[in-house]
Amino acid sequence: MEQTRIGKTDLYVNRIGLGANAVGGHNLFPNLSDEIGKDVVRTALAHGINFIDTAFIYGPERSEELIGEVLKETGRRSGTVIATKAAHKFVDGQTLKDNSPAFLVESVHASLKRLQTDYIDLFYIHFPDESTPKDEAVGALHKLKAEGLIRAIGVSNFSIDQLKEANKDGYVDVLQSEYNLLRRGVEEAILPYTEEQNISFVPYFPLASGLLGGAYTKDSTFQDGRAKNPLFQGEAFLRNLGKVEQVREIAAAKQAEVAHVVLAWYLTRPSIDALIPGAKRPEQVINNLKALEVKLTPEEIGAIDRIFQA
**Interior CA angle at 81 toward 80 and 87, to 5°?**
135
Instruction: Please identify which of the residues 12, 58, 193, 216 carries the catalytic annotation.
Output: 58
**Residue 307: which residues within 8 A CB-CB, separation 6 or more?**
181, 243, 246, 247
Of all helices (H) and strands (E), which one includes residue 81? strand 81-86
Q: Could you give the CA distance from residue 280 to residue 46 in angstroms, rounded to a whole number?
A: 16
The yes-or-no answer on residue 58 being catalytic is yes
SS3 176: strand
* Nearest Cα to Cα of residue 251 among 242, 262, 266, 267: 262
Cis preceding linkage at 60, omega within 30: yes
Report the catalytic residues. Answer: 58
